[in-house]
């Protein structure tokens, strides 16, 4: 059986391996500087707080924010919940309306569904259908049409975790603001991969997380605009009043230090890394196209590069079941299939369904997430193994 040391990891949208430089930055905060950042009466607490505030500055600077606009959370799921539910709690009854998109992550869709159960009007916009070269993108005129009625919140992700589609967020924010709505974006898959600046995007709230950018799991952030005009939201957690009252709970100091180091490294390396990942991704796509008959690209075209994450590829292997293919490949490569296997009976991916794919095509789809530690040799091995496995399965099936 394959072991974690030998199986090639190409599931970097699910999570990433920690960069050794991130681990190095975190280690002293487990052993030497272990104080509670909220302890105000001794050096252990002061040093922990100093590290947290330095991390906050680093992370804020990386996205064009100020330190007081960054609130630490346990990850993007919490940040998305805090943004959506925190805004909703303050909305007057006359404007209980939210607009989002069918391809959002469940940590956005589920809180919105809850609002629907509480009487909110919830609009989930469709996306451009496959096989268009812009498949997965939101149509701006549909957004504008959906915003003719008074709306409290627009929530649109910056980059999609399955098909890598990068939404035209600055335009989306402009249309949202013209309609008087607040604009939230889930930028979990984008921060550290493509340039993200809260001023250029002009968003009011933005969620992101450390473990997608070679940082630790269990730590994330919510950007909340504090300038012209400041956004006010309700907390989800009440308690000690940490994070200026918005998010009670003892801060994860080593995690926050690692998060900042990971952001810093990703921003420093972004220009080179995105070219390298795009090349690897294109090598993978070209290799598979040449070696495997009957495959199609899911999501937007790979060109222009600005509409798709550099390390993302999502392919449908027609006539093959994705889960079965992955089981056949389990000793070679770690990937994920076009189904959300959160239950015993895996449902086809809601993102692929939103592109207009049939259940069968969605079930035959595989997501590739290339990352910092992948190499061209690994890509060649994966192409060869997939070609053999698809051929075997198609022969057995037919």
Ligand X SMILES: Cc1ncc(COP(=O)(O)O)c(C=O)c1O
Tell me which residues touch ligand X (CB under 6 A). Answer: 75-77, 105, 107, 157, 161, 186, 188-189, 209, 220
Comparing every residue's Cβ against ligand X, the nearest one is 75
Terminal alpha carbon distance of the chain: 28
Least distance CB 80 / ligand X (angstroms): 6
Nearer to ligand X, 13 or 242 (CB): 13
Nearer to ligand X, 157 or 366 (CB): 157
Nearer to ligand X, 35 or 371 (CB): 371
Nearer to ligand X, 169 or 332 (CB): 169
Do 109 and 360 form a contact (C-beta atoms < 8 A)?
Answer: no
Residue indicated by tokens 């400041």: 230
State the sign of the Cα–Cα–Cα–Cα dihedral 164, 168, 173, 176: negative
Catalytic-residue membership of 316 = no
308 three-state secondary structure: strand
What's the count of helices (H) and strands (E) in the chain, helices before strands? 13, 15
Least distance CB 12 / ligand X (angstroms): 11
Least distance CB 260 / ligand X (angstroms): 16
Least distance CB 217 / ligand X (angstroms): 7
Tell me the β-bridge partners of 297: 315
Nearer to ligand X, 35 or 235 (CB): 235
Sheet holding 220-224, edge to edge: 70-73, 220-224, 205-209, 182-186, 153-155, 97-101, 121-125
Least distance CB 212 / ligand X (angstroms): 7
Nearer to ligand X, 28 or 218 (CB): 218
Contacts of 360 (CB under 8 A, 6+ apart): none
Backbone angles phi, psi at 370, to 5 degrees: -80, 150
- Crossing angle (nearest 10°) for helices 43-62 and 253-291: 40
Least distance CB 6 / ligand X (angstroms): 25
Do 259 and 76 form a contact (C-beta atoms < 8 A)?
Answer: no
Q: Which of 43, 271, 275, 341 is catalytic?
A: 341
**In which element (H, E) is residue 177 found?**
helix 169-178
Distance CA(59)–CA(53), nearest Å, equals 10
206 three-state secondary structure: strand
| Active-site amino acid positions | 341
């Amino acid at each position: 059986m394959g072991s974690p040391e030998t199986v090639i990891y190409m599931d970097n949208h699910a999570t990433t391996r920690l960069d050794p430089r991130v681990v190095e930055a975190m280690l002293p905060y487990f052993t030497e500087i272990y104080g509670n950042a909220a302890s105000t009466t001794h050096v252990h607490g002061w040093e922990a707080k100093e590290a947290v505030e330095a991390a906050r500055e680093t992370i804020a600077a990386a996205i064009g924010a100020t330190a007081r606009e960054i609130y630490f959370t346990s990850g993007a799921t919490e940040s998305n919940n805090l943004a959506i539910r925190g805004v909703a709690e303050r909305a007057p009854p006359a404007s209980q309306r939210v607009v989002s998109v069918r391809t959002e992550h469940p940590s956005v869709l589920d809180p919105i569904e809850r609002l629907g159960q509480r009487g909110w009007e919830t609009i989930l916009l469709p996306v451009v259908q496959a096989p268009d070269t812009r498949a997965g993108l939101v149509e701006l005129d549909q957004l504008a049409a959906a915003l003719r009625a008074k709306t409290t919140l627009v929530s649109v992700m910056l980059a999609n975790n399955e098909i890598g589609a990068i939404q035209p967020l600055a335009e989306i924010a402009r249309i949202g603001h013209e309609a008087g709505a607040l604009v939230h974006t889930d930028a979990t898959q984008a921060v550290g991969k493509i340039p993200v600046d809260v001023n250029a995007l002009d968003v009011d709230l933005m969620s992101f997380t450390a473990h997608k950018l070679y940082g630790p799991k269990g730590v994330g952030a919510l950007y909340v605009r504090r300038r012209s005009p400041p956004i006010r939201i309700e907390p989800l957690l009440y308690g000690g009043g940490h994070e200026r009252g918005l998010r009670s709970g003892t801060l994860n100091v080593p995690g926050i230090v690692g998060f900042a180091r990971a952001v810093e490294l990703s921003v420093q390396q972004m220009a080179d890394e995105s070219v390298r990942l795009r090349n690897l991704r294109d090598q993978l796509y070209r290799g598979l196209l040449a070696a495997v008959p009957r495959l199609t690209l899911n999501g937007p075209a790979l060109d222009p590069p600005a509409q798709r994450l550099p390390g993302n590829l999502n392919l449908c292997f027609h006539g093959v079941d994705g889960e079965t293919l992955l089981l056949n490949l389990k000793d070679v490569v770690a990937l994920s299939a076009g189904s959300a296997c959160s239950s015993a009976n895996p449902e086809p991916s809601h993102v692929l369904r939103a592109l207009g794919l049939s259940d069968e095509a969605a079930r035959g789809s595989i997501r590739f997430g290339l990352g910092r530690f992948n190499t061209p040799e690994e890509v060649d091995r994966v192409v060869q193994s997939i070609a053999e496995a698809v051929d075997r399965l198609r022969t057995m099936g037919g």
